[in-house]
Amino acid sequence: MLAFASCSSPSSSAKEDTTTTATSTDSTATGSPLQVVTQLKGPQFVGVAVLPDGRTFIDFPRWDYNPVMPVAQLGSDGSLKPYPDANWCVWNETVRNEPQKHWICPQSVYADPSGMLWVLDPAAPGLKATVPGGPKLVKIDPKTNKVVQNISFPESVAPRKSYLNDVRVDTQRNYAYITESGMGSLVVVDLKSGKARQVLAKHPSMLGDSTLGIKAEGQTLIDATGKKMQFNADGIALSHDFQYLYWKPLTSYKLYRIKTEALRNASLSDAQLAQQIEELGKVPACDGMEIDAANNLYMTAFETNSIVRRAPDGQVKTIAKDKRLQWPDTFSFTADGTLYVTNSAIHKTPTWNKGISQVDQPFHIFKMSLPK
């Protein structure tokens, strides 16, 4: 998912078009393995989570839009329902004193291996600064549609300029791992105690490379001040045996991993942790990441409108290339081997187009069967 940027703060007057299409399995691109699940003209969404029972959830961060439903359940007819209820989706002056009970700028929805739904809210509307008391990780039981755990992050873990980005959960040891993109760090959460630690802040493996001149559809991404796009730790994946955590900065061609055992050891200093980081070689610039049971790593390669797969031996292969993948963003896997992916058209948003939106197509959820 996309990380820290400078863009206009959303307001109640931000344009929102909630037109959706009914769920469809027809591909409109000849030869493409991608099938359209749903499409939405606006607001922009980034994350998707598909539960074992087939229910699908989307999150809409408050970047350039002010979504009515920052987290929503997608109906089979393309309709949206606020989740877990309408009250959680309210964020205005009437509820400013209870930032822990409302979605402020949810960045990630994630279905863990046990079927629980997690929502990560960096609470930084407009990607400017966190709302005090707002950053949180929320666990929802889909059987009851009720919040069962709500972990608030103090400023020592989520400083005002932080942006909590994506999360993975070890259901065996009750730990969560989060990429933080504002400063560039990882956050390790002991889910039993609710205590969290920020580690490896500003380590080179966490920082994007501003010299690369990252492109999308051939356009170098430069903001209004003339600065090239630079995003820090973003994509994250946890191996199925929970032994390794993978991550990479968004604007980087380097992939990293570390043993989760090291991350869980609170006695290790950042210098000691850094010694255990493995650099795994060159991969495409990507946003979302996910891993399968065979340790194949899937990445959303936004520079080439593609989805790629990195085998354990380091070989990278394109498994889908489609012009409709306008900045492929986030994955969700299902047990039957289906991959879901969103496209968020980040390169067409005002931040990278002199303040004027160039978004000219719907935001999508696609799905495809994983190739053998």
pLDDT, tens digit, for every residue of 291-324?
999 999 999 999 999 999 999 999 999 999 999 9
Instruction: Specify whether the CB–CB gap between 117 and 49 falls below 8 A.
Output: yes
The predicted-structure confidence for 153-204, as pLDDT tens digits, reads as follows 999 999 999 999 999 999 999 999 999 999 999 999 999 999 999 999 999 9
Q: Which residues contact 98 (CB under 8 A, 6 or more apart)?
A: none
Q: Residue 70, preceding bond cis, omega within 30 degrees?
A: no
Phi-psi region of 202 (alpha: psi -120 to 50; beta: other; left: phi over 0): left
Spatial neighbors of 330 by CB under 8 A, at least 6 apart, are 1, 46, 47, 48, 108, 166, 287, 288, 300, 341, 342, 344
pLDDT of 2 higher than 60 = no
Q: Which domains are assigned to the chain? A: 35-369 (2.120.10.30)
Mean pLDDT of 26-43: 81
Give the whole-angstrom CA distance, residue 342 versus residue 363: 7
Structure confidence at residue 210 as a pLDDT band (50, 70, 90) = confident
pLDDT for 274-297, tens place per residue?
999 999 999 999 999 999 999 999
- The proportion of the chain whose per-residue pLDDT surpasses 70, expressed as a percent, equals 92
User: Which pLDDT tens digit goes with each residue over 245-255?
Assistant: 999 999 999 99
Does pTM top 0.75 for this prediction? yes
